[in-house]
Amino acid sequence: MREITPRNNKGAIIIRFTFSGKEYCFSPIPGSKYFDPLALAKAEEIANRIRQDCITGYFDSTLTKYKPNALQGRTKEAAIRDAEEAKEIIAARLSVNAVDLLQLFEDYTLFKSKTLKSNSMIDYDRIKNKIKKCPHKLVRDAVDIMQWLVNDHKGTSTSSVEKQWKLINACCKWGVASGKLQSNAFEKLRNLIPSTKKSATQDDINPFNDGERKQIIQAFYVSDNYKYYAPLVEFLFITGCRPEEALALQWKYIKGGKVTFCQKLTASGEIESGTKTQSKRSITVNERMASVIRDIKPEKYLPDDFVFPAKKGGFIDWHNFANRAWKSVLETLPDIEYRNPYQMRHTAITMMVRSGVDSVVVAKWVGNSPNMIAKRYLGDVSDVVMPNT
């Protein structure tokens, strides 16, 4: 929803906004002047109250509750009666979703633990710790909670805040289904998260050349802080698989000289069956891929263990990797133009096609159609000499 703010109307203060297709316009403080700081501050408070009511479903279309002097001239008895009715209405509203969010999320985590792998629960614990820090405790305070999450966030990307909202929203949806909540107060609050401007998206096609690819892989292997991620980076550059497929890869899906991609890690930190475009696909392990796998394979492991886990267990946070490890390592390579890490997929696909592999085969390897390979993934081939015909 757009911001609602007081406006200057020939020196007077008005509030004009549209809600549910209807336009509203009124003077919140009749007789006040726009350039009066105290009056403008009161008007801004009223505008903010209107916006929150619109979001949470408590908007008064008569505008009476937003006009401080609207009830002047009423009899004492009528005022007392209205005050009692107002108390009852407020009490009824406050009782709706007066549920402790932390307790609800703990119940939801226990419920999800029956179907999720133990490593997946680390992300749930992170959200739980975030909720513990939040000064707003009840589900009915959803707007305040979301605003706190946004303000508490550090960094330029808000993707982690969106991930927090998705898990909390899923929790409250479960709360409604299980009868613990009357309604999901977080359902429509995604718009409270500011969108992140992206200078380069996953759809941009700007692959690295072979020399740049080798430099990046080597830079990860010699990095004091980020060498842990080197095998993952090399694996992505070799296979061209999607990051969410690599992060969800388990040892049980590497056998018989093949790697099978049949699941992905979702933005909310859960394992979901199937890849983006198909139920599963397999690729044959080449010598270089076998070397990467052999070097990181533990002596003792369980089939359900992840091939590329986070340092402390659980899943690697891809956004954290992109914003810290990837950026930091590429900053040590000033001669290489910065591109986002999804270009590892574009690079692998481009190099496969440039090496002479039929695009139909490449499409099978990376989980796309030949048309999509040419349209969205194949990088610049302008330096390839055309054959004599």
Across the range 72-95, mean pLDDT stands at 64
What local confidence, expressed as pLDDT, does residue 71 receive? 54
- 326 DSSP 8-state letter: I
Instruction: Tell me whether residue 219 is exposed, middle or buried, using C-beta atoms within 10 angstroms of its C-beta: 0 to 12, 13 to 18, 19 or more.
Output: buried
Beta-strand ranges (E) seen in 232-310 are 254-255, 258-261, 263-265, 271-273, 281-284
User: pTM of the full predicted structure?
Assistant: 0.53
Q: What is the pLDDT of residues 325-381, one digit of tens each?
A: 999 999 999 999 999 999 999 999 988 988 888 888 988 999 888 887 777 655 555
Band the pLDDT of 120: cuts 50, 70, 90: low
pLDDT surpassing 90 at residue 270: no
Q: What is the pLDDT of residues 365-380, one digit of tens each?
A: 998 888 877 776 555 5
Q: Three-state SS for 138?
A: strand
Share of the chain above pLDDT 90, in %: 47
Contacts of 347 (CB under 8 A, 6+ apart): 207, 208, 213, 237, 240, 379
What are the Cα distances from residue 342, in Å, to 40, 244, 264, 356, 368?
48, 11, 15, 23, 15
**How many whole angstroms separate alpha carbon 293 and alpha carbon 264?**
19
Query: Per-domain residue ranges for the chain?
Result: 6-95, 101-192, 210-377
What local confidence, expressed as pLDDT, does residue 267 receive? 72
Among 32-36, 97-101, 143-147, 374-378, where is mean pLDDT lowest?
Answer: 374-378
What local confidence, expressed as pLDDT, does residue 201 receive? 47
Is the CATH number of domain 210-377 1.10.443.10? yes
What local confidence, expressed as pLDDT, does residue 8 receive? 93
What local confidence, expressed as pLDDT, does residue 387 receive? 60
Q: Would you say 139 and 185 are in contact if contact means Cβ atoms under 8 Å apart?
A: yes
pLDDT surpassing 50 at residue 200: no
Among 13-22, 200-209, 247-256, 321-330, where is mean pLDDT lowest?
Answer: 200-209
Share of the chain above pLDDT 70, in %: 85
Q: Would you say 317 and 174 are in contact if contact means Cβ atoms under 8 Å apart?
A: no
What local confidence, expressed as pLDDT, does residue 142 receive? 92
